[in-house]
Amino acid sequence: MSIFIGYEIIIMKTTPKIKRVQLRINQNDESGFLGIVSSEPDYKLSLALNKNLKISLKNTSPVIINDEPDNELTFSRFSDSSASQNLIYDLTSNRSGKNYLIRKLKNIDYIFRIHDPDNEININQVISTLRDAECVTAVFNIDIGSIKDRNLNHLIH
């Protein structure tokens, strides 16, 4: 005598619930850009900024652009990210010989980027401090949104 035990498999199709998540975007999560006019070489200006702003800019990998097939342009860069996890300072040269990183800013020698998503820094205070530096001729607040240049992505890395 054989006994047959049957199993019934029931497959229930369940649709996953859609969960909506709202992301908060901080409108102040942008970097501040300052244009600096100075006749000093990049290393002297970085030392002056370190002293006046109490930061620690150090020479990092330069911005390298291939303008033409045989023409490589190098723009020096100094960075500091030691003050805070989110606070980053970048000083980038706008000149390489007779060429410019951002052509619309020909009168600017250096571009100083302050990435401050937590709003720890008062940009106006930084501008005032930079203007007091002996090696700085002028400081300008730059509205990056109004500038259209293919090399902007090298500043915002």
What pLDDT digit, counting tens, does each position of 30-64 carry? 688 999 999 999 999 999 999 999 999 999 999 98
Give a yes or no: residue 115 inside a domain.
yes
Q: What is the pTM of this model?
A: 0.76
Element (H, E) at 49: helix 42-53
Query: Beta-carbon neighbour count of residue 51 at 10 Å?
Result: 10
* Domain around 92: 31-154
Give a yes or no: residue 135 inside a domain.
yes
Give a yes or no: residue 11 inside a domain.
no
Give a yes or no: residue 57 inside a domain.
yes
What pLDDT digit, counting tens, does each position of 89-137 carry? 999 999 998 899 988 999 999 999 998 887 878 899 999 999 999 999 9
Residue 87: pLDDT over 90? no
Cβ-based neighbours of 103, under 8 Å, separated by 6 or more: 149
Give a yes or no: residue 147 inside a domain.
yes
Give a yes or no: residue 89 inside a domain.
yes
Give a yes or no: residue 35 inside a domain.
yes
Can you give the CATH number for the domain in which 72 is found? 3.30.310
CA distance 65 to 56: 26
Give a yes or no: residue 149 inside a domain.
yes
Half-sphere exposure for 46 (CA within 13 Å, toward CB): 19
Query: Looking at the 3D structure of the chain, how many domains does it have?
Result: 1
Helices (H) and strands (E) in the chain, counts: 2, 8
